[in-house]
Amino acid sequence: MVEVVLFHHAQGLTPGVLAFADALRAAGHAVRTPDLFEGRVFGSLRDGMAYVEKVGFGEVVERGVRAAERLPQDGVVYAGLSLGVLPAQKLAQTRTGARGALLVDACVPPEEFGTPWPAGVPVRVHAKDADPLVAEDLAAARALVAEADDAELCLYPGDQHLFMDSSLPSYDPEAAGLLTARVVEFLGRLDPR
């Protein structure tokens, strides 16, 4: 069993995010889903981003960091979906003992958090190859994959953002199924049993 902290995207802790977490639980992993929006769920990405801009990106990231403080420091995989990549990537890069990182629909340059990618921390980045919202992030993802000693960029055909969220119109069942299978395989490799 691997301990996973899954940070939601800008529409909040949607039923689709919870379903993705449940799929990882069904594969035998412990998955926590902190609510960075204090119960708010938004019907559109635009509304969710308006909320993020109101409270501040820094505050959203710090909510994620605070949520992780209640967890053991060693052996956690930090996972983020779009906006949730920010706290996930920060924790994977700066909190000692991370077991791995899963970044979906976003990636920021490692220098954003003031430190290079830590040696021995595997990372997987997943995104649609023509998603306009991750176009700039793909350069950061490629740089991260080149820098990290165990990294992979998995691209899926299409332009849907949040393609893994089964509760949204952007859901792509085929790509989401492949993503889930790849994530389960990744977590299986990290399982100390």
Question: What's residue 123's pLDDT?
Answer: 98
CA-based nearest residue to 81, from 189, 166, 192: 166
Question: What's residue 127's pLDDT?
Answer: 98
User: Residue 39 to residues 42, 75, 85, 89, 186: CA-CA distances in angstroms?
Assistant: 10, 28, 19, 23, 30
User: Structure pTM?
Assistant: 0.96
pLDDT profile of the chain (193 residues), mean per 10: 96 98 97 96 97 96 94 91 98 95 96 92 97 94 94 97 98 98 96 74
Class (C level, CATH) for 3-190? alpha beta
Q: Return the structure tokens found at 17.
A: 């995010």
CA-based nearest residue to 100, from 126, 75, 122: 122
Question: What's residue 193's pLDDT?
Answer: 66
Q: DSSP alpha helices (H): ranges in the chain?
A: 15-26, 45-55, 57-69, 85-94, 135-147, 173-190
User: Residue 192 to residues 25, 79, 98, 102, 148: CA-CA distances in angstroms?
Assistant: 16, 18, 13, 18, 21
Delimit the domains of the chain by residue range.
3-190
